[in-house]
Structure 1
């Protein structure tokens, strides 16, 4: 009996050491993940279908307000353009791509919400947009605010919080038309497959401008009903990286870079643009 008991004690001790060893190894791996503040190259997740905000052009390059913001942040972190690579993200994939390490940062009209902060961290915001409504110009007299979306066909982008803000939070029974991105919403709107698009005003201004170039007349209702703080998505726990990005954003506002970029992309849109540094969320 004594011998059996001794063997059991030894086995238990060995198992405990194995568990501790595995935990220590895991801890070393976690601690070894490089902060974005220390990287020589960055992969940044961006949108590809939001004119004025983030698009991929026919020749494969990226342009828009978010793209310029991403380049500025990278440069202020010490990473110049040869070391910056953009990777497409969608509303439904942003958290997963950050968590899996597919991207280092996400700069993609990424509104900070309590639900998202459970999964990832946010630096910034670098701008506070406002959710509004885009309709065909001929329908503008019929849609003056969010309540006029009742019973109308409204684009619902998978993974975006914009439709739930209308339908769930405001209790407006709009009819969902599901799409993967806002370029699809724009096509549906001009081709009369839906009645309205509701999302951040910067995105709507870009969509309206893009439609105008193609001869389609759209109108932003100018009836904002939310604040949409655009954060820079970052891996959960990278507080050093978050603080470094916040410092970069502050510098962009202090030296006039942010105001210049906002004017470049939205100066003729008719939107009221804010050029003071937003209230930061805090790096948690």
Structure 2
């Protein structure tokens, strides 16, 4: 799939459309969403991917996706954002519901059996978010016999159970916001996912002072941009866009804008590894 849009391509598409109409054909193969591009993001991750109450989209992943789309020839107004919950990302890509996914999507060998990735474009680490007044959880092993929350389809909670706390009582929710509500109400004892996501939640005005990060680097999470398997041309175009974003300073600017308020200390931009 080649998504890069150019004046020449648009002109050719217009000619083909006229020709098809003259021939009585109803096919619109080759034109996708009338010059639009559909990108899957999270809608409920402050600092990463968030749909605000007024219908706007913000976060580091949104900034990355917008930059990549522009390099492919699409302005911000051409982007159609689609919610991409963790458990649905592979299906959205495989079914063609999105052109690609930028949704705190960690690159794993298991996922690469179903989709391809471009990137990585960010390196996060798995951590725990606990209540600010909870001093009982200082290490991942302290989660044994405690209620640990994460979202359905995420690898984070399984990592904890497999490697650190096999007796943790895993509670899987549809979204991180549900886990956060459970944490605040003491229905669960900890929320686990990437530190970037946790920092985004902890820095929200309504949450400041209520929660804290445990400060544990439980894993390395290389965020990649998910796309349909075998689309090497799109993979290459996205990789070039990521490299350009890093080189021209836009990547660092986006990191500081979205994570800086939480005092989050990010890793440098990772090297591109997903190539064909």
2:245: which partner in 1? Answer: 252
Task: Say whether 1:77 aligns with 2:72.
Answer: yes
1:53: which partner in 2? Answer: 48
C-alpha distance in 2 between matches for 1:63 and 1:110: 17
1:138: which partner in 2? Answer: 133
2:176: which partner in 1? Answer: 182
- TM-score normalized with structure 1 length: 0.84
2:20: which partner in 1? Answer: none
2:188: which partner in 1? Answer: 194
1:93: which partner in 2? Answer: 88
Q: Structure 2: give runs of 5+ residues left out of the alignment.
A: 6-31
C-alpha distance in 2 between matches for 1:283 and 1:135: 38
1:228: which partner in 2? Answer: 221
* Mapped contact 1:154–1:176 kept (Cα < 8 A): yes
1:61 is displaced (CA, Å) by 1.7
In terms of fraction of residues, the more helix-rich structure is: 1
* Mapped contact 2:144–2:165 kept (Cα < 8 A): no
* Mapped contact 1:55–1:64 kept (Cα < 8 A): yes
C-alpha distance in 1 between matches for 2:193 and 2:207: 21
C-alpha distance in 1 between matches for 2:248 and 2:274: 22
C-alpha distance in 1 between matches for 2:107 and 2:164: 19
C-alpha distance in 2 between matches for 1:151 and 1:235: 40
Length, aligned pairs only: 248
Q: Which runs of at least 4 in structure 1 moved beyond 6 Å after TM superposition?
A: none
- TM-score normalized with structure 2 length: 0.86
Q: Structure 1: give runs of 5+ residues left out of the alignment.
A: 1-33
1:104: which partner in 2? Answer: 99
